[in-house]
Structure 1
Amino acid sequence: MKTINKQHWNRQQQFDHFMGLKDPSFAITFKVDVTNAYAFSKSRSISFFGKYLHDCLRAVNSIENFRYRIKDDDVVEYDVINASPTILRADKTFGFSFVKYDDNLNAFLENLLKEKQRVQSTKNLYPPVNGDDCIHCSALPWIPFTGHKEPVSGLVESIPEVSFSKVEEVDGNCMMNVAVRVNHALIDGYHVGQFYEKFQYFLNE
């Protein structure tokens, strides 16, 4: 992790402008084609959610602005961003998790499985390990949503939030909507566009 020198930062004015607003966040929902990712998961009997979450993190980690976070009065850049997905329990409550990212898909799936087992064996809402070096994410596989709104704490929020919809078949392809909410002081539409393109690229592999 490194601290950004805001005095010599090329987006200092954008940062100051958006941080002066009551709500500096913006949100976008877009479709991705998960046909290849779904087929890959089924052919190898692995978690489809784990596969596309890994692809999502590969995209996030490849974009510098998605690794920025606000800590007190500073802007920091993390080296690696992990995942903090909500995990459903048998009684239909959920717990927050913290899944360590790994470039290797199998290692990441093992980390995800361990967190899933931990959440499902406890009633705790929060994970024992947590931090800003993550994205907050959730899957809503029951709803093909076209818009999405996350709760707002009223505090300074700089962790990107990503939600994944129900998969629907469209013209023979498996399509999924993805909602992204980010802090505009750190991330612009251009960077969300980069995320969309990279996410789709990794899903297609």
Structure 2
Amino acid sequence: MPMKKIDLATYKRRGMFAAFKDRDIPFFSTSSHIDISNLKKIIDDQRCGFFLSISFLITKAVNLVPELRHRVINGELFEFQRIDPGFTVLLEDETFSFCDSRYFEAFEEYRRYSEIKIQEVKECPDQSTGEKHHMFFITSLPWFSFTSIVHPHDRLYGYIPVVSIGKYFQEGERLLLPVGIQVNHALVDGIHVGKFYQHLSDMCECSELWLSV
């Protein structure tokens, strides 16, 4: 995956990086409610599937924030040109499999590719770990809404953002989706998470521009 090395000597966040990289708990997690009223209408009209639609928009929003594409590999800081989504797939026995997808500019390409990968892991589940610096993770919890969420953390995936989506709910005339994100504070600050939420909110509001099939 194309990436460029960032010189830590001139890295503008080098002070924050040094302050947080060796903390026992270097990550922070937050959640927010995203208005998906228009998005749900587009999904219902086009019958394009809720998870694949929202995961495509999440992937777009994550990639629009450079800090969410930053990774520390063997002590050196890199920025990936793009990062790919990986997500969980529920199996018939109520266990789950990991599923590695890819970033695509066009929704239809993403949908076709992801549908194939989902079917593959349903037939041959994957709970393996490995080198996934070029990825970020999405976990879907459609059984309940949440106002906060924290994920397991280990150094293998220590710099990889994790995005969570819960059960959407009605509030007045709006349909709201809880979206959580967990990031490493050595590389990502609250302002960067705010940009992610703003990008995602904007795309959900104008989802007909992004989900054309």
Q: Which TM-score bucket, shorter chain as reference?
A: over 0.9
- 1:190 aligns to what? 191
Deviates more, 1:185-194 or 1:144-153: 144-153
Residues 37 and 175, structure 2, Cα contact 8 Å, conserved in 1: yes
- 1:91 aligns to what? 93
Superposed CA RMSD = 1.5
Q: Distance in 2 between matches of 1:178 and 1:60?
A: 13
Q: Distance in 2 between matches of 1:140 and 1:175?
A: 14
Q: What is the percent sequence identity of the aligned residues?
A: 26
The offset of 1:76, in angstroms, is 0.7
Residues 168 and 174, structure 1, Cα contact 8 Å, conserved in 2: yes
Residue identity in the other structure for 1:41: I
- 1:28 aligns to what? 30
Residue identity in the other structure for 1:43: D
The offset of 1:156, in angstroms, is 6.3
The one-character-per-residue Cα deviations of 1:51-78 (angstroms, maximum 9, x if unpaired) are: 1111111111111101101111011100
The one-character-per-residue Cα deviations of 1:160-182 (angstroms, maximum 9, x if unpaired) are: 01100101011122101111110
The offset of 1:111, in angstroms, is 1.4
5+ residue gaps, structure 1, are none
Residues 132 and 157, structure 2, Cα contact 8 Å, conserved in 1: no
Residues 133 and 157, structure 2, Cα contact 8 Å, conserved in 1: no
Q: Distance in 1 between matches of 2:185 and 2:131?
A: 23
Residues 97 and 126, structure 1, Cα contact 8 Å, conserved in 2: no
The offset of 1:137, in angstroms, is 1.0
Q: Distance in 2 between matches of 1:124 and 1:156?
A: 17
1:55 is aligned, of 57, 78, 85, to 57
Q: Distance in 2 between matches of 1:16 and 1:195?
A: 24
SS state at 2:151 partner: coil
- 1:200 aligns to what? 201
SS state at 1:106 partner: helix
The one-character-per-residue Cα deviations of 1:96-119 (angstroms, maximum 9, x if unpaired) are: 111111010000011110111011
- 1:125 aligns to what? 127
Alignment length, in residue pairs?
Answer: 204
2:19 is aligned, of 17, 20, 26, to 17
Residues 98 and 125, structure 2, Cα contact 8 Å, conserved in 1: no
Structure 1 pair 156/7, CA: closer, same or farther in 2 (3 Å)? farther
Q: Distance in 2 between matches of 1:139 and 1:24?
A: 23
SS state at 2:187 partner: coil
Large movers: runs of 4+ above 3 Å: none
| Residue 134 of structure 2 corresponds to residue 153 of structure 1 | no
| Residue 139 of structure 2 corresponds to residue 138 of structure 1 | yes
